[in-house]
């Protein structure tokens, strides 16, 4: 990990406000500023016009709590420790991990979080550092047969209620504030937009069989955009907008039929390439912002960017890097992005019957090349040249063995592989079971720990014929190894 070195660039030391908006399940191509015809998201487009649009922002996961943990900490998944949605461990951010909320709170900001669904609630530890956390951690109620379950009536909110609550909580803030607002509506199973909005949205036509269509998905994105417009208008009215650092980022995208998949939790670009907009007040930057940046950046870069422009130093190392240089038009070295999914050890993933090769996946993007390594299904690993194949339709791994080798070495150095089920960390197994039942009500499907019977060996990319039984450096060259399926 690289040390975070931050400094304010302006002689004006007044602390700026921070607004972080996270869009759940939102593809970049659903926004007008990313090329969607008809400018369906005028409020998000206006934020983009005041700042910088990042065209190749990569999330660390297409799973809500995992990706949010990276956004809030600046850490890759292996370093913040949130890897799955539901398991006896590996699904909660430890209180000892610094977050955007805890860092800014320590430096005098009023920290507020307003969340719209259970997967970003305090149950996952994502409230850490926020003085006021308006989440949906409904607690336990006694259900049928005396079993404990989450209060399912309060597990998700529509964007209008979220915005109402954000403004109500913000009214109590004095001095500089850090407000994190999470919008859930584009997720499958989320509340429908109100009837008056649906009636006024002439672009949507109901499908004959009642299934969710791309049009109805985009309608929910448009409804979130309208609520973001309310939020911005309120900040303008209170005189805060002109002195507020604004970051808008999605946690992940959505399949919508691409790669024969409607949901998320896999590693294609429609899942992990996300919208990222950064708007910085003029007094905090040295130059006018670049309108668009087309090189790879990561959602782990969000935290160091906010802290950099806020003039706050963080003593803890992070994986992300500030985006000040790209925003201000200064050159820098290309960034490499990593993402992973550990579905095989997640109690909440039951789709492996449909997608058996998506049990464990590790992706590395060194643009234009992207490699998705599937350690239990090596023959199904994929290499794409994104400059020629943005839709990832042509796996060229067999044609580019040297490129595969280079990227596999990058993954080995990065590490973070998970090769055993998550064990009980002392938390309540009743809590885990109740959480899984609650997630069922939000459109997730409870599964089983399908990876329990996995058998792993370790392989050096430079010496593939030497398989190690235990994880460690290659005895021949000392290089890091990657996990692979063990012969049965």
The SS3 of residue 34 is: helix
Rounded to an integer, what distance in angstroms lies between the CA atom of residue 223 and that of residue 106? 35
Per-residue pLDDT of 353-385, as tens digits, reads: 788 899 999 999 999 999 999 999 999 999 999
Q: What's the mean pLDDT in 117-144?
A: 80
In this prediction, residue 155 carries a pLDDT of 85
In this prediction, residue 451 carries a pLDDT of 54
In this prediction, residue 147 carries a pLDDT of 37
Rounded to an integer, what distance in angstroms lies between the CA atom of residue 294 and that of residue 368? 11
In this prediction, residue 66 carries a pLDDT of 98
Query: Contact 36/29 with Cβ under 8 angstroms?
Result: yes
Query: Contact 336/376 with Cβ under 8 angstroms?
Result: no
Strand stretches in 202-272, DSSP E? 244-250
Query: Contact 44/33 with Cβ under 8 angstroms?
Result: yes
Stretch among 266-275, 406-415, 468-477 having the lowest mean pLDDT:
468-477
Distance of CA 121 to the CA centre of its chain: 14
110 has pLDDT over 50: yes
Q: Provide the pLDDT confidence category of residue 8 given band limits of 50, 70 and 90.
A: very low
Average pLDDT score over the chain: 88
Contacts 24+ apart (CB under 8 A), 407-410: 407/364, 407/366, 407/369, 407/371, 407/383, 408/371, 408/373, 408/461, 408/482, 409/461, 409/462, 409/479, 410/336, 410/364, 410/366
Report which of residues 24 and 6 the model is more confident about.
Answer: 24
342 has pLDDT over 80: yes
Rounded to an integer, what distance in angstroms lies between the CA atom of residue 276 and that of residue 260? 26
Strand order in the sheet with 337-341: 337-341, 361-366, 369-373, 382-385
Strand stretches in 353-477, DSSP E? 361-366, 369-373, 382-385, 456-460, 463-468
Q: Provide the pLDDT confidence category of residue 327 given band limits of 50, 70 and 90.
A: very high
> The pTM is what?
0.92
* Structural tokens at position 436: 């899984």
Report which of residues 278 and 449 the model is more confident about.
Answer: 278
Q: Which domains does the chain have, with CATH numbers?
A: 17-333 (3.40.720.10), 339-452 (3.30.1120.10)
Q: Provide the pLDDT confidence category of residue 9 given band limits of 50, 70 and 90.
A: very low
Neighbours of 142 (CB within 10 A): 9
Per-residue pLDDT of 140-190, as tens digits, reads: 344 444 333 345 456 899 999 999 999 999 998 888 999 999 999 999 888
């Amino acid at each position: 990990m690289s040390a975070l070195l931050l400094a304010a660039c302006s002689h004006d030391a007044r602390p700026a406000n921070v607004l972080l908006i996270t869009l759940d399940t939102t593809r970049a191509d659903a926004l007008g500023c990313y090329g969607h015809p008809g400018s369906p998201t005028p409020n998000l487009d206006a934020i983009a016009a005041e700042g910088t649009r990042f065209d190749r922002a990569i999330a660390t996961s297409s799973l809500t709590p995992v990706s949010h943990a990276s956004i809030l900490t600046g850490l890759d998944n292996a370093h913040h420790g949130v890897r799955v949605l539901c398991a006896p461990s590996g699904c909660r951010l430890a209180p000892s991990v610094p977050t955007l909320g805890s860092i800014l709170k320590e430096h005098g900001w009023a920290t507020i979080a307003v969340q719209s669904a259970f997967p970003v609630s305090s149950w996952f530890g994502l409230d850490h550092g926020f003085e006021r956390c308006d989440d949906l951690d409904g607690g336990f109620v006694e259900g049928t047969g005396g079993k404990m379950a989450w209060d399912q009536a309060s597990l998700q909110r529509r964007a209008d209620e979220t915005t109402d609550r954000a403004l109500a909580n913000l009214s109590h803030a004095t001095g500089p504030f850090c407000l994190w607002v999470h919008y859930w509506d584009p997720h499958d199973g989320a509340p429908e937009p109100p009837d008056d909005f649906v009636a006024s949205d002439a672009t949507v036509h109901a499908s004959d069989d009642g299934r969710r269509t791309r049009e109805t998905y985009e309608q929910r994105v448009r409804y979130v955009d309208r609520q973001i417009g309310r939020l911005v208008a309120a900040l303008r009215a209170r005189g805060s907008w002109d002195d507020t650092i604004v970051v808008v980022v999605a946690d992940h995208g959505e399949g919508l039929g691409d790669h024969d998949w409607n949901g998320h939790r896999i590693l294609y670009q429609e899942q992990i390439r996300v919208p990222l907009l950064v708007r910085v007040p003029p007094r905090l930057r040295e130059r006018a912002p670049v309108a668009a940046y087309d090189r790879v950046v990561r959602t782990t870069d969000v935290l160091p960017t906010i802290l950099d422009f806020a003039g706050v130093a963080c003593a803890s190392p992070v994986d992300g890097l500030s985006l000040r240089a790209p925003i201000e038009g200064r050159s820098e070295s290309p960034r490499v992005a990593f993402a992973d999914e550990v579905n095989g050890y997640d109690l909440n993933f039951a789709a492996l019957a449909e997608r058996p090769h998506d049990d464990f996946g590790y992706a590395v993007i060194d643009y234009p090349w992207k490699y998705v390594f599937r350690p239990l299904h090596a023959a199904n690993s994929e290499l794409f040249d994104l400059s020629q194949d943005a839709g990832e339709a042509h796996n060229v791994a067999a044609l580019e063995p040297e490129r595969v080798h280079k990227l596999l070495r990058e993954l080995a150095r990065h590490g973070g592989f998970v090769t055993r089920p998550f064990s009980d960390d002392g938390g309540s197994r009743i809590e885990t079971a109740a959480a899984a039942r609650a997630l069922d009500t939000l459109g997730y499907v409870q599964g089983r720990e399908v990876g329990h019977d996995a058998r792993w060996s370790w392989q050096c990319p430079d010496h593939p014929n030497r398989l190690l039984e235990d994880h460690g450096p290659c005895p021949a060259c000392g290089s890091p190894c990657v996990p692979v399926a063990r012969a049965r």
